[in-house]
Amino acid sequence: MLYSRMVIPGTGDGDYEFARGTHNALLGFPVEDLELATRVGIQMGKNGEIVGHYV
């Protein structure tokens, strides 16, 4: 429920970067690697390391 609500077209509700910006630069964050994060997510999922169930 949380997930589908976040991606309803036309609301922009999940895109707070567009609406408000982020504090990434202010806090000195690096630019991250999507491929690496994807690899980690898939691996953890397949290994059963991700617990919990949102609604």
Contact positions toward other proteins, by CB under 8 A? 1-9, 11, 13-24, 26-29, 32, 34-35, 37-46, 50, 52-55
The helix/strand/coil state of 50 is coil
Least distance (Å) between residue 14 CB and other proteins: 3
Least distance (Å) between residue 30 CB and other proteins: 8
Least distance (Å) between residue 43 CB and other proteins: 7
Q: Using CA atoms, how far apart are residues 16 and 34, in angstroms rounded to an integer?
A: 19
5, exposed or middle or buried, with CB in 10 Å at 0-12, 13-18, 19+? exposed
